[in-house]
Amino acid sequence: MKKTTIWILIVFMVLTFVGLIVLQARYVRVNAEMVENQFNDNVQRSLFQTVSLVEENEALEYLGQTLEGEDYSGSQNKLLSMDAKNIRLKNNIDSMAGSLKLTSEQLNRPSIRLSTRHGKSTIEETSRYLQEKFKQNFSRSKTILDQAVFRWMKEIDEKEISERVNFEELNGILEKVLVNNSVDLPFFYSIVDKQGKIIYNCHKDIHQEDLNNTPSNIYTQKLFPFEESNKVAYLQVTFPTKQNYILNSMNLLLPSIALVILILLVFIVAIVIIFRQKKLNNMKNDFVNNMTHELKTPISTISLASQMLQDSGVGKTPETLKHISNVIRDETKRLSLQVEKVLQMAVFEKEKSILKLNEIKINSLVEDIISNFSLKVTSKGGKITSNMKALNDVALIDEVHFTNVIFNLMDNALKYCDKPLLLTIETWNEKDNLLISIEDNGIGINKEDLKRVFEKFYRVSTGNLHNVKGFGLGLAYVKKIVNEHRGSIKVESEINIGTKFTITIPTLKNYEL
Residue range 251-263, pLDDT digits in tens: 777 787 788 788 8
Report the alpha-carbon distance of residue 54 to residue 165 in Å, rounded.
7
SS3 387: strand
Instruction: Write down the number of H helices and E strands in the chain.
Output: 17, 11
- Please spell the DSSP secondary structure of 277-346, one letter per residue: HHHHHHHHHHHHHHHHHHHHHHHHHHHHHHHHHH-TTS---HHHHHHHHHHHHHHHHHHHHHHHHHHTHH
CA nearest to 46, candidates 213, 181, 168, 162 = 181
DSSP reduced 3-state for 461: coil
> Mean of the pLDDT values across residues 336-358?
66
Domain ranges across the chain = 1-103+121-249, 253-343, 353-512
Q: Model confidence over 410-459: pLDDT tens digits?
A: 988 888 888 888 999 999 999 889 999 999 998 888 888 888 888 876 76
Cα–Cα distance, 104 to 127 (Å, whole number): 14
In angstroms, the CA 186 to CA 365 distance is 81
Q: 3.30.565.10, 3.40.50.300, 3.20.20.70, 3.10.28.10: which CATH number matches 353-512?
A: 3.30.565.10
Please tell me the predicted confidence (pLDDT) of residue 440: 92
Q: In the predicted model, is pLDDT for residue 504 greater than 90?
A: yes
Question: What amino acid is encoded at 249 in this protein?
Answer: S
What pLDDT band is residue 114 in, cutting at 50, 70 and 90? very low
Identify the band that residue 109 occupies on the pLDDT scale cut at 50, 70 and 90. Answer: very low
User: Is 253-343 CATH 1.20.1630.10?
Assistant: no
Contact 72, 65 (CB under 8 A): yes
Q: CB-based burial of residue 11 (10 Å sphere; 0-12 exposed, 13-18 middle, 19+ buried)?
A: exposed
Q: Which residues contact 371 (CB under 8 A, 6 or more apart)?
A: none
- Label residue 74 by pLDDT band (50, 70, 90): very low
Separation CA 421–CA 162 (nearest Å): 101
pLDDT in tens, 16-43: 888 888 888 888 888 888 888 888 899 8
Q: What pLDDT was estimated at residue 364?
A: 92
The answer to whether the beta carbons of residues 385 and 423 sit under 8 Å apart is yes
Q: Is the pLDDT of residue 288 over 80?
A: no
pLDDT digits (tens, 9 = 90+) for 294-330: 777 778 778 887 887 777 776 677 887 888 787 787 7
Contact by Cβ (8 Å): 422, 440: yes
- Whether this prediction's pTM lies above 0.75 is answered by no
For residue 71, what pLDDT band results from cuts at 50, 70 and 90? very low
Query: Angle at which helices 474-484 and 399-415 pack, to 10 degrees?
Result: 150
Average pLDDT of the chain is 76
Hey, which residues does 423 pair with through a beta bridge?
384
Residue 19 CB partners (closer than 8 Å, separation 6+): none
In 194-253, where does DSSP find H-type helix?
Answer: 208-213, 242-248
Least confident of 15-19, 147-151, 160-164: 147-151
The answer to whether residue 269 scores a pLDDT higher than 80 is: yes
> Residue 200: enclosing H or E segment and its boundaries?
strand 198-201
Q: What is the 3-state secondary structure (H, E, C) of 136-193?
A: HHHHHHHHHHHHHHHHHHHHHCCCCHHHHCCHHHHHHHHHHHHHHCCCCCCCEEEEEE
